[in-house]
């Protein structure tokens, strides 16, 4: 009968898991959007991370702006080669060179074409060694060559978390590349750590609502969105304006008699803005949907692995494969929608830029044919037109690129803005010496379900108190109120006469040890697991706690004893052994209250009896609260609190409650005994 119930519970769990994933996938089609002003706020908040890296960001900015100086130099040697080496025109004829280049022109004046070409080669070689060939960005090419990029949002984020590029190559480009790589990794590391810390400090209520797979996705795949905002939102607009002004000044100085070309360039900004604006909002929406679908996929993996034994035992492998295939395909489909928007934006932008490029080509070519410009001037003007056009195109393009990152960083900031229980301050209480009292306490879940009603209970240090009752009676919810995992929606919980809401959580948690029903152990040594709540505990103290919990013998039998690392092939231990380690950890911590949720559910009768006797010894200076069903565990408690449907029906010792022939506790034990006899 019990085995049949367990199988039904597993099937119900799998069915509810599938329904939750289907609902999450369906939720992607619900309208979700970030308006313009919210996007501005998110970008502004992302920019504030610069304050953690002021010096490195300033160096990055200086090197970045240095790379933008290449248009001041690069076109002029090409003009000299065409006009003065190939065509043999006199040096400086018909051209007003910019002041910074005049000394080099004067140096070349009067030399024959071979000498001029030799010095141009020297200049080019020096430039290549320091800054690379024409600023093509070899460093960026290396990045793209060595970091493989997948075809969904998650697999692309590894590049974003390690993004580094330089418009320069050569020695300066290598320096900038290494600086940017380390800066990018530092930024992503910081925001990942902050998000991980925030998730760990969420209230129990928020943690229950937060799926593990979604949290993993946010930490690993949403945080790299900061990279694009961190660089693009500040550097690109400033550099675009700076480049435009510098190049425009040089172009106006040397070719002031061609103002129509400058006016043509200025048309690039409104034309490109018009071409890209229709794609801002669609990119934001598609990126949001892609990330949401990706988090559902991650959640499916996590839940599937958590239930893998149930899946195999119930023959659900094919069903799970189909379910995973469904959400995985949805993730790729959503990403394809994002790519489609990018393709359409590219077509629109290229069409706008190409139209003005054709007009510029016609105007420059006409002036060369008419003799107003030399063939060398053709290359200079066309080069400057492309730089100016690129600078103005960068302004709307930067905002477009950021749209892809806004949903990711929005998801990160959403978790960071959730209520953090550590934020709750209050008074620091001394060691609890007297009692925990519940006065007319009630608790209602956020969905409206009533968990507790009218709880009045007084417990004292030195007692063992057992919470007993059928499943769903409110036992764990009542226990969660003691360490402040939940806060009562009605009434008051008093600690030595002080309301729980007035006590700082750090002070309260320091005095409570909670051993959960599911053993929470870390992939660390058994020694470090047991002394997790008391890091400075000696080996003798750890062994004493393990002996009380009935764990010392099997731990010493392991090849490495207390130094055995859990989670390795050589340290496979049973559920009951894990539970004993968790109990030892709770016993070792210096606390006034010890709460054990089903502490004997995986223990054999001999170990259980030993533990129960040990708890009486521990209760001499602690309040021990036990949530249990076994009669052998609860019978020796000083006070038994019987709950049903969130209310206390009876409380007293085992003998007192059993003496009432009509009592709920007695009836509960009789049903339990009958069920045991049937099995």
> Do 470 and 535 lie in a common domain?
no
Q: Is the pLDDT of residue 474 over 70?
A: yes
pLDDT for the residue numbered 9: 40
How many structural domains does the chain have? Answer: 3
Assigned domain for 115 exists: no
| Listed residues 590, 624, 646: the one ending a domain | 590
> Do 196 and 220 lie in a common domain?
yes
**Of the ranges 150-159, 324-333, 358-367, the best mean pLDDT one:** 324-333
| Listed residues 416, 450, 478: the one ending a domain | 416
> Do 552 and 449 lie in a common domain?
no
pLDDT for the residue numbered 34: 80
In this predicted model, what pLDDT tens digit does every residue of 301-313 receive, in sequence order? 888 887 777 777 7
> Do 352 and 475 lie in a common domain?
no
Q: Quote the pTM value.
A: 0.77
Q: Is the pLDDT of residue 2 over 80?
A: no
The CATH code of the domain that includes 541 is 3.40.50.300
Least confident range from 5-14, 26-35, 123-132: namely 5-14
Tokens standing for residue 613: 């006797």
Residue 69 φ then ψ, to 5°? -85, -10
Please give the share of the chain, as a percent, with pLDDT higher than 90: 25
pLDDT for the residue numbered 165: 76
Assigned domain for 2 exists: no
Cβ atoms of 165 and 135 within 8 Å: the answer is no
Tell me the mean pLDDT in the region 4-31: 41
Tell me the mean pLDDT in the region 271-275: 93
Assigned domain for 672 exists: yes
Cβ atoms of 150 and 174 within 8 Å: the answer is no
- What is the span of the domain harbouring residue 582? 519-590
The CATH code of the domain that includes 26 is 1.20.1560.10
**Of the ranges 247-251, 264-268, 492-496, 629-633, the best mean pLDDT one:** 492-496
> Do 678 and 651 lie in a common domain?
yes
Give the ranges where 201-234 is alpha helix by DSSP (H).
204-209, 212-217, 225-232
Q: Is the pLDDT of residue 439 over 90?
A: yes
In this predicted model, what pLDDT tens digit does every residue of 7-19 receive, in sequence order? 344 344 434 444 4
Q: Tell me the pLDDT band of 149, cut-offs 50, 70 and 90.
A: low
Q: Is the pLDDT of residue 160 over 50?
A: yes
pLDDT for the residue numbered 423: 57
Cβ atoms of 599 and 626 within 8 Å: the answer is yes
> Do 170 and 212 lie in a common domain?
yes
**Beta pairing partners, 459:** 436
Taking the CA atoms of the chain, what radius of gyration do you get in angstroms? 36
> Do 573 and 615 lie in a common domain?
no
Cβ atoms of 652 and 658 within 8 Å: the answer is no
pLDDT for the residue numbered 171: 83
| Listed residues 590, 623, 651: the one ending a domain | 590
Tell me the mean pLDDT in the region 620-645: 86
Q: Tell me the pLDDT band of 524, cut-offs 50, 70 and 90.
A: confident
């Amino acid at each position: 009968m019990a085995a049949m119930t367990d199988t039904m519970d597993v099937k119900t769990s799998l069915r509810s898991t599938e329904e939750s994933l289907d609902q999450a996938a369906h939720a992607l089609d619900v309208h979700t959007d970030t308006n313009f002003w919210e996007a501005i706020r998110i970008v502004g908040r992302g920019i504030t991370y610069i304050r953690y890296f002021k010096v490195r960001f300033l160096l990055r900015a200086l090197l970045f702006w240095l790379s933008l100086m290449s248009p001041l130099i690069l076109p002029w040697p090409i003009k000299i080669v065409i006009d003065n080496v190939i065509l043999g025109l006199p040096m400086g004829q018909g051209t007003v060179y910019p002041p910074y280049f005049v000394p080099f022109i004067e140096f070349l004046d009067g030399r024959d074409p071979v000498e001029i070409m030799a010095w141009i080669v020297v200049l080019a070689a020096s430039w290549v060694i320091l800054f690379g060939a024409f600023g093509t960005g070899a460093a960026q090419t290396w990045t793209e060559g060595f970091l493989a990029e997948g075809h969904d949002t998650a697999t692309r984020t590894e590049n974003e978390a390690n993004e580094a590029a330089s418009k320069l190559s050569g020695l300066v480009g290598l320096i900038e590349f290494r600086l940017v790589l380390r800066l990018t990794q530092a930024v992503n590391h910081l925001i990942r750590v902050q998000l991980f810390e925030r998730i760990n400090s969420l209230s129990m209520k928020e943690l229950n609502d937060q799926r593990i797979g979604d949290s993993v996705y946010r930490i690993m795949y949403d945080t790299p969105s900061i990279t694009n905002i961190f660089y693009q939102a500040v550097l690109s607009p400033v550099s675009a304006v700076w480049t435009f002004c510098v190049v425009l000044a040089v172009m106006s100085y040397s070719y002031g008699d061609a103002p129509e070309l400058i006016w043509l360039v200025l048309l690039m900004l409104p034309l490109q803005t018009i071409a890209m604006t229709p794609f801002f909002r669609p990119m934001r929406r598609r990126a949001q949907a892609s990330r949401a679908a990706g988090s559902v996929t991650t959640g499916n993996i996590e839940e599937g692995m958590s239930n893998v034994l149930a899946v195999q035992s119930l023959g659900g492998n094919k069903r799970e494969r189909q379910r995973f295939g469904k959400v995985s395909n949805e993730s790729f489909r959503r990403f394809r929608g994002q790519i489609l928007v990018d393709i359409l934006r590219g077509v629109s932008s290229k069409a706008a830029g190409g139209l003005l490029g054709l007009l510029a080509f016609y105007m420059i070519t006409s002036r060369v044919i008419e003799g107003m410009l030399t063939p060398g001037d053709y290359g200079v003007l066309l080069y400057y037109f492309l730089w100016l056009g690129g600078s103005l195109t960068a302004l709307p393009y930067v905002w477009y690129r950021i749209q892809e990152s806004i949903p990711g960083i929005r998801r990160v900031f959403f978790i960071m803005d959730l209520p953090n229980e550590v934020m709750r301050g209050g008074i620091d209480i001394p060691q609890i010496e007297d009692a925990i009292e519940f006065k007319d306490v009630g608790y209602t879940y956020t969905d409206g379900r009533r968990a507790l009603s009218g709880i009045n209970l007084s417990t004292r240090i030195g007692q063992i108190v057992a919470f007993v009752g059928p499943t769903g009676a409110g036992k764990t919810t009542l226990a969660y109120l003691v360490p402040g995992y939940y806060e009562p929606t009605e009434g008051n919980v008093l600690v030595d006469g002080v309301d729980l809401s007035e006590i700082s959580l750090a002070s309260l948690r320091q005095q409570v040890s909670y051993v959960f029903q599911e053993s929470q152990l870390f992939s660390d040594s058994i020694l470090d697991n047991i002394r997790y709540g008391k890091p400075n505990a000696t080996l003798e103290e750890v062994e004493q706690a393990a002996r009380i919990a009935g764990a010392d013998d099997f731990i010493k039998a392991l090849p490495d004893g207390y130094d055995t690392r859990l989670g390795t092939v050589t340290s496979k231990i049973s559920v009951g052994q894990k539970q004993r380690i968790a109990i030892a950890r709770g016993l070792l911590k210096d606390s006034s209250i010890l709460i054990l949720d089903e502490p004997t559910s995986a223990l054999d009768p001999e170990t259980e009896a030993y533990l129960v006797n040990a708890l009486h010894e521990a209760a001499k200076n602690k309040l021990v609260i036990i949530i249990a069903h076994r009669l052998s565990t609860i019978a020796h408690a000083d006070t038994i609190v019987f709950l049903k449907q969130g209310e206390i029906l009876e409380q007293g010792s085992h003998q007192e409650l059993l003496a009432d022939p009509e009592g709920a506790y007695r009836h509960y034990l009789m049903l339990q005994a009958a069920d045991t006899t049937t099995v």
